[in-house]
A and B are shown apart, each in its own frame.
Chain A
Amino acid sequence: MAENPSDADFVTVEAMTMAYGAFVVQENVSFSIRRGSVFVVMGDSGSGKSTLMRHMIGLDRPSKGDVRYAGTPYWSSTEAEQRRLRRRFGVLFQGAGLLSSMTLAENISLPLVQHLKVPRGEAREVAVTKLELVGLGGFEDSYPSQVSGGMRNRAGLARALAIDPDILFLDEPSAGLDPLSARHLDDLILELRSSLGTTFVVVTHELPSIFAIADDAIFLDGERHRMVAHGPPREIAATTTDPKVKAFLERGQYP
């Protein structure tokens, strides 16, 4: 893939401040994400990792700052432009967020049928393919409540992949998975990145995952309400002087 100058800052978060009412979650967060990379958002519990993701995908409006996708600002755009941008996102929420009244296949084909006007039969085929991709072949007619948490997560990932997004946002994808499944998911992410060139934004605090998949990362501190580290995880681990980040990356072993 050819390096072109805009690829380095494919996604840019510009001086974003996130707050719920008077409570400031994170202040003045800025970073950029290279196209086709896996970007990990780390941080302790309650530091605002998921909140940052919600602000990036348009669910919560930042109190200051903006996020640009290939140069286009999201929050200062029109509603139509925002819709167009959202069409390039695939999102896996915590707990997958599958519609419980639909089967897995219906969940996946829903955006295809509704937005891309793909005929039902074809959309179902796509859904089956995507489910096979995440290792859920044969479960297309199960309801979300009939499969395990890990399977739901993978089905959610399949749904996020359904419209072939440019950017995939994954919120705690391996939460509640056994080490083997988590490992499998990591492999899947890397495979998708190399085969489709998809950009990943992954919110997680699973150390093995972070070291396995991350090209770049930031660390959010929930106590100081700001970003305290930025860079590839191994580099951060080697160079950081911040005791909290160091401890986090060394599994809580404070010096």
Chain B
Amino acid sequence: MDIFGGRFAGEEASRWSRLIFLIVTALILSVLITPHQQLISTTYKAGDIAGASVRANQDYLLEDTHLTDRKRKEAEVTAPLVYAFNPTAAAVLRQRLGLILELVRQARVSPDLEMKRSLRKKVSEVSGFEVDAGDLESLARLHNDQLTGEITRLTNQVYERLIVGNNERFANDLLHGVIVTEGPPGGEVPPQNYQQFLGVDEARQQVEQADLPDGGDRHDLAVLKGFLGRMMKPNLLLNREGSEKKRIEARDSVKPVMFQVKRGEIIVREGERIREDQAQKLAMIYQSRSGIGRLFMVLGVFGLTLIMLIFPYRFACKNIRKFNPSSKDLLLLTYITLGLFLGLRLSLVVTSAIGGMFPYIHVTDYYYLFPFALGAMLVRILINSEVALVYTSVCALLAGILFENSLVIVIYALMTGIVMAGRTGASFAAVLGTMTVNSEVDALETMNFPPMEFLVAPRILAMILMMPLLVLYADLFGILGGYVVAVGLLDLTPALYLTQTREAMTFSDVLVGLLKAPAFGAVVALAGTYFGMKTGRTASAVGVSTTRAVVSGILLVIVVDAILTVFFYAVKL
């Protein structure tokens, strides 16, 4: 501290030092208070209860991966199925039948017994079904040379149509969309032919009922037709590989669906169960926040911090009589401010870390445990209440930035700061202490004015009555200040600002503030008056009791606030 203090020696040096100091302070502050939303709500998943409302603080263009996925699935489903047309099906069938007939003929003419015996097995292999001996005999009786032309005609006729394995399924697939490719290398077959398809069973019937004029007797010909029918295969088969390829093509052709999040739009409302898409939006916003955007944010906050430090200081110097902090005082203010915000930042980290452990306590409720008024109190004690008032109003706004632009926090910090900085707890102790030292309290007592009734009770009553008014005042000016900034600087419409404010600040927020205020007032006044009345008989005793009053006032407010928070939570206010 002495090293820095020495810099303030000369008048000119002091000016420069102040400037450098201001910039350094603002820079450190802006790094400290630039919000990391990740710290607060990384762990939001679908189904979680939101601990605090989250609103977009800038415009975002985000990919809706959920919707994109759905569209892609739809595209996949509607992608056409690929069928392969086999133009050689008739030829293959004829070839197989020819092979069977040749086997039968060879067996008949051959003297080899072994061949005759294995005939049935060989024929079964080729035909793909069990043949019986009678059928083989029938085949053997046929006059092949007469039949060949007939069979060619018959098979060609049947295979002119598209023959599919499953009639109904293909009909369905047709409705869905079908592409037919020809053969292994082939191209597409024009679509008009698709309609004339035939189930393989129907094709068999056609073959079996077909008219074969000569070449054998009726029975033998029927056996032949039976063979033909049973050996028939569809000439149109589903090409699984091709279909899959088409599906992937369709999927890739779908463009990602983007959606826009406007600045100020509420993404999640406090207390709501987070939906899938909301969780996704949050996750994406957090992602997009990192990196270069953050640097600009720090710069922006830096500028804002500079403005908030310089202008109130200048204004106060000109207009407030007792506001003339020396360079050393400014140095002190800097230390207090940096210490305070470092502490708040750490508390925020700790809070977000433990926040998840108690899902039924809102993360924001922990904020009320933070010693916002600490800085104001220190300044009040070490410098004076005028400086403390200006200081606390600046700090409250900065704290609001730190806590994700929370109006409630600004009001809270301002309120507690003003109470602590103002002529209340500490001044009660100081006034009563001085009165004790000057025998004024004794004089009152001997004149039959009990100090409890005459000095203590009115002060406590005054605090209890006035604190809610102070809260209302702070509420009102918080909203008004927000209005000026939102409408004047940020180009929001008045109506939008007001509706959003009404959404963000529920009636119970205000009510809780108003109900807590008298309790805070009472404990601060109690601490102040108690230590004031207990002052010893020397001037230094006044200082001691003032300090005691302030310290116990802080502790009591924290304790009472914790109790009330739990209480109001229990009664669901």
A residues engaging B (CB < 8 A)? Answer: 54, 57-59, 83, 86-87, 89, 91, 93-100, 110-111, 114-115, 156, 159
Instruction: Give the distance in Å from the alpha carbon of A89 to the alpha carbon of B443 in the complex.
Output: 11
Chain B residues in 8 Å Cβ range of A89: 446
Task: Evaluate contact between A111 and B439: CB separation under 8 angstroms.
Answer: no
Across the interface, which residues of B come within 8 angstroms of A115, CB to CB?
447-448
- Please tell me if the beta carbons of A100 and B440 are within 8 angstroms of each other in the complex: yes
B439: chain A residues within 8 A (beta carbon): 93-97
* Contact between chains at B440 and A59 (CB < 8 Å): no
8 contacts between A and B (CB under 8 A): A58-B445, A59-B445, A59-B446, A86-B446, A91-B446, A98-B440, A114-B449, A156-B443
Interface range, B side: 10 to 19
A97–B443 touching, CB < 8 Å: yes
- Min CB gap A88→B, angstroms: 11
Indicate with 1 or 0, residue by residue over B434-460, a CB within 8 angstroms of chain A CB atoms: 110011101111111100000000000
Q: A83: nearest residue on chain B (CB-CB)? A: B448
**CB pair A93 B444 closer than 8 Å:** no
Complex CA gap A99/B446 in Å reads 13
Is the CB–CB distance between A97 and B448 below 8 Å? Answer: no
How many residue pairs bridge A and B at CB < 8 Å?
49
Q: How far is the CA of A98 from the CA of B435 in the complex (A)?
A: 9
Distance of A114 Cα from B448 Cα, bound (Å): 10
Nearest 5 CB-CB pairs, A to B? Answer: A97-B439, A93-B439, A97-B443, A91-B446, A111-B447
**Closest B residue to A82 using CB positions:** B448
A58 touches B446 (CB 8 A): yes
Taking CB as reference atom, which chain A residue is nearest B449? A114
Q: Which residues of B contact A100 (CB under 8 A)?
A: 434-435, 438, 440
B residues near A97, Cβ cutoff 8 Å: 438-440, 442-443
- Chain A residues near B448: list those with CB within 8 A: 83, 86-87, 111, 115
Residues in chain B within 8 A of chain A (CB atoms): 434-435, 438-440, 442-449
Which A residues touch B440, using CB under 8 A? 97-100
Residues in chain A near residue B435, CB distance under 8 A: 99-100
Nearest CB in chain A: distance from B438 CB, A: 6
Kindly report which residue of chain A lies nearest to residue B441, judged by CB atoms: A97
Other contacts beyond A86-B447, A87-B448, A111-B449: 15, CB < 8 A: A58-B446, A59-B445, A59-B446, A91-B442, A91-B443, A91-B446, A94-B439, A96-B439, A100-B434, A100-B438, A110-B447, A111-B448, A114-B449, A115-B448, A159-B443
Nearest-neighbour CB distance to chain B for A155, whole angstroms, equals: 12
Once the chains bind, are A98 and B445 in contact (CB under 8 Å)?
no
- Please give the distance in Å from B457's CB to the nearest CB on chain A: 15
| Nearest opposing residue in chain B for A87, CB measure | B448
Task: With both chains docked as a complex, state the minimum distance between the C-beta of B37 and any C-beta of chain A, in angstroms.
Answer: 52
Measured in the bound complex, the distance between the Cα atoms of B434 and A98 in whole Å is: 12
Question: A93 — which chain B residues lie within 8 A by C-beta?
Answer: 439, 442-443
- Collect the chain A residues with CB atoms within 8 Å of residue B447's CB: 86, 91, 110-111, 115
A54 CA to B448 CA, complexed, in Å = 14
Nearest-Cβ distance from residue B534 to partner chain A, whole angstroms = 14
Name the A residues within 8 Å of B444 (CB-CB): 99
Chain A nearest Cβ from B53, distance in angstroms: 48
Q: Is the CB of A59 within 8 A of B442?
A: yes
Instruction: Give A107's nearest chain B residue, CB to CB.
Output: B443
CA distance A107 to B273 in the complex (A): 66
Which residues of chain A come closer than 8 Å to B443, judged between CB atoms? 91, 93, 97-99, 156, 159
- CB-CB nearest in chain A for B446: A91
Nearest residue in B to A163 (C-beta to C-beta)? B447
Chain B min CB distance to A21 (Å): 14
Q: Which residues of B contact A86 (CB under 8 A)?
A: 446-448
Q: What's the minimum C-beta distance from A111 to chain B, rounded to whole angstroms?
A: 5
- How many Å from the CB of A55 to the closest CB on chain B? 12
- Which of B438, B445, B446, B449 counts the most A-chain CB atoms under 10 A from its CB? B446
CA A159 – CA B444 in complex, angstroms? 11
Residues of A within 8 A of B446 (CB): 57-59, 86, 89, 91
Neighbouring A residues of B449 by C-beta, 8 Å: 110-111, 114
Complex CA gap A59/B443 in Å reads 10
Complex-state Cα separation, A97 to B439, whole angstroms:
5
Q: Is the CB of B438 within 8 A of A95?
A: yes
CA distance A97 to B445 in the complex (A): 11
Within the complex, what minimum Cβ distance (angstroms) separates A130 from chain B?
A: 14
In the complex, the chain B residue whose C-beta lies closest to that of A86 is: B448
